[in-house]
């Protein structure tokens, strides 16, 4: 087999692949055996008809189609390896020559990974900001802890206030007619949570237990239900219960109740130390991101649209899996966010493009600088990962190999190693 490579516009290349005539004849003969088992040839049992009779029965075109199914895929894969290209999409295959007794020739056009033109990526001298926390942040953390340990007190009487948890019945109407999904009984709602459409929760503030209240709202113009989008509605509501938070006094007794410390000052010191560690980590992460972002901005590359679309699909799949862990589907997510899959994908496009560019730039720098993961480094990382999850390192490695994920694992490690290199070179 022989291969020639022709660069077309941008990141499109064409591989012209020539397969020896003998291989093509062998593939056609094998195709005849396969088809003989699938079709009924008069006078012969299935699988026993000679090639000539099979060809007469199904036609030469069907015979060639079957042979091409067997031959083109492996030949293309071999051509990719031989030519050294890095495809990012499926090829478009065009037959150039197909005739028994002659070489089979086909042309495969395919998008390939683009070339990156690196800019400055060393000696940028990007300083890391100092990690600073204020006493106000410590007080906010203390108040947050106070809120977390608040007790919910059921009121015998009173009016709804912001941050109350209310139990209510409601029914929604548009143009005087109830609408589907607009009714509920004994519904628990935290006022100010933003769970309902704008105006609903605010309209309940001041309502008393047992007193019917009508709340007027307007559905958002981009509401997920087209029947309700942009429409005015009236909700007839009845507050059945009000629960309000009762906060503990911030004193030594509070510290004893919610922590292992004896005094409030000790608790505040612990909160301060934790805030500082979190801030130090955030500042460090921001420093790393700023270096990588500058290096990526300095580089130039034309990214094929197919790579961006593929990254968007990965991001959507990740979101879907995360939602599933919370017992939610994408459809529910779109309802709650008044969005659609198409709109979300369009919003993700800039982020996806930047993500792809970052990967391409890091990969190129790794090649230029000879950065790669050794087997010892891989085994050490697998050992750490297995210890974190209580697994056997050798078993983890075999599992990754069996799933075809080991190379992706190494690529992720190599990206991180390249990022570490950039931090060393630009701080």
User: Is the predicted pLDDT of residue 86 greater than 70, yes or no?
Assistant: yes
122 occurs within a structural domain: no
- Average per-residue pLDDT for the chain: 91
Element (DSSP H or E) covering residue 151: strand 151-154
397 occurs within a structural domain: yes
123 occurs within a structural domain: no
Q: Report the pLDDT value the prediction gives residue 223, as an integer from 0 to 100.
A: 82
Residues 326 and 421 in one domain: yes
User: Is the predicted pLDDT of residue 43 greater than 70, yes or no?
Assistant: no
Average of per-residue pLDDT across 5-31:
91
Looking at residue 184, which CATH number applies to its domain?
A: 3.10.50.40
Distance CA 249, CA 163 (A): 19
> Buried b / exposed e across 195-233, counting CB within 10 Å, b at 16+?
ebbeebbebbeebebeeebebebebeeebbeeebeeeeb
Residues 235 and 331 in one domain: no
146 occurs within a structural domain: no
Render pLDDT for 275-293 as a digit per residue (tens, 0 to 9). Answer: 999 999 999 999 999 999 9
State which of 47, 81, 111 marks the end of a domain: 111
Average of per-residue pLDDT across 245-252:
94
Confidence of residue 168 (pLDDT cuts 50, 70, 90): very high
Q: Report the pLDDT value the prediction gives residue 55, as an integer from 0 to 100.
A: 66
Looking at residue 104, which CATH number applies to its domain?
A: 3.30.70.1050
158 occurs within a structural domain: yes
Burial of 362 (0-12, 13-18, 19+ CB in 10 A): buried
Distance CA 25, CA 211 (A): 88
Number of domains in the chain: 3
132 occurs within a structural domain: no
Q: Report the pLDDT value the prediction gives residue 227, as an integer from 0 to 100.
A: 84
Residues 53 and 174 in one domain: no
Q: What percent of the chain has a predicted confidence (pLDDT) above 90?
A: 72
Residues 400 and 268 in one domain: yes
143 occurs within a structural domain: no
State which of 111, 133, 167 marks the end of a domain: 111
Confidence of residue 360 (pLDDT cuts 50, 70, 90): very high
Q: Report the pLDDT value the prediction gives residue 274, as an integer from 0 to 100.
A: 97
What range defines the domain where residue 156 resides? 151-246
121 occurs within a structural domain: no
Looking at residue 276, which CATH number applies to its domain?
A: 1.10.3120.10
Residues 10 and 106 in one domain: yes
Residues 235 and 273 in one domain: no
Confidence of residue 375 (pLDDT cuts 50, 70, 90): very high
Burial of 14 (0-12, 13-18, 19+ CB in 10 A): middle
Residues 268 and 216 in one domain: no
User: Is the predicted pLDDT of residue 48 greater than 70, yes or no?
Assistant: no
C-beta separation of 232 from 203 below 8 A: no
C-beta separation of 129 from 287 below 8 A: yes
**Count of alpha carbons within 13 angstroms of residue 63, beta-carbon side:** 24
Q: Report the pLDDT value the prediction gives residue 28, as an integer from 0 to 100.
A: 85
Residues 236 and 296 in one domain: no
- Helix 264-298 crosses helix 341-369 at what angle (to 10 degrees)? 80
Residues 87 and 160 in one domain: no
Confidence of residue 76 (pLDDT cuts 50, 70, 90): very high
Average of per-residue pLDDT across 363-392:
92
Q: How far is CA 335 from CA 18, 228, 348, in A?
A: 53, 12, 18
Residues 208 and 288 in one domain: no
Q: Report the pLDDT value the prediction gives residue 355, as an integer from 0 to 100.
A: 96
State which of 181, 211, 246 marks the end of a domain: 246
Residues 416 and 285 in one domain: yes
Residues 236 and 274 in one domain: no
């Amino acid at each position: 087999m022989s291969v020639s490579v022709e660069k077309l516009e941008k990141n499109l290349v064409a591989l012209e692949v020539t397969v020896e005539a003998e291989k093509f004849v062998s593939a056609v003969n094998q195709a005849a055996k396969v088809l003989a088992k699938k079709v009924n040839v008069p006078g012969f049992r299935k699988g026993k008809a000679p090639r000539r009779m099979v060809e007469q029965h199904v036609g030469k075109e069907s015979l060639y189609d079957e042979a091409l199914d067997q031959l083109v895929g492996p030949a293309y894969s071999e051509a990719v390896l031989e030519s050294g290209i890095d495809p990012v999409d499926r090829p478009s295959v065009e037959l150039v020559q197909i005739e028994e007794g002659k070489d089979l020739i086909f042309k495969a056009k395919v998008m390939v990974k683009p070339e990156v033109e690196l800019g400055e990526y060393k000696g940028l001298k990007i300083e890391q900001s100092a990690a600073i926390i204020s006493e106000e942040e410590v007080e906010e953390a203390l108040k947050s802890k106070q809120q977390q340990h608040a007790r919910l007190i059921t009121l015998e009487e009173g009016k709804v206030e912001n941050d109350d948890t209310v139990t209510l019945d409601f029914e929604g109407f548009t143009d005087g007619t109830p609408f589907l999904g607009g009714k509920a009984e004994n519904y628990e709602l935290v006022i100010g949570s933003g769970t309902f459409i704008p105006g609903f929760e605010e309209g309940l503030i001041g309502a008393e237990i047992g007193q019917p209240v009508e709340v007027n709202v307007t559905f958002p113009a981009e509401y997920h239900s087209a029947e309700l989008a942009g429409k005015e509605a009236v909700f007839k509501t009845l507050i059945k219960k009000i629960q309000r938070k009762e906060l503990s006094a911030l004193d030594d007794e509070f510290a004893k109740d919610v922590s292992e410390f004896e005094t409030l000052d000790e608790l505040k010191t612990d909160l301060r130390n934790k805030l500082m560690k979190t801030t130090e980590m955030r500042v460090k992460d921001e420093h790393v991101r700023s270096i990588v972002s500058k290096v990526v901005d300095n580089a130039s590359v034309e990214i094929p649209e197919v790579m961006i679309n593929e990254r968007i699909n990965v991001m959507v799949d990740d979101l879907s899996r995360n939602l599933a862990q919370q017992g939610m589907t994408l459809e529910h997510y779109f309802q709650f966010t008044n969005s659609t899959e198409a709109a979300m994908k369009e919003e993700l496009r800039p982020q996806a493009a930047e993500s792809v560019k970052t990967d391409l730039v890091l990969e190129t720098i790794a090649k230029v600088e000879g950065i790669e993961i050794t087997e010892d480094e891989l085994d050490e990382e697998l050992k750490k990962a297995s210890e974190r999850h209580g697994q056997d390192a050798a078993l983890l490695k075999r599992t990754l190999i069996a799933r075809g994920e080991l190379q992706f694992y190494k690529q992720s490690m190599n990206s991180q190693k390249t990022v570490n290199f950039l931090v060393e070179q630009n701080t």
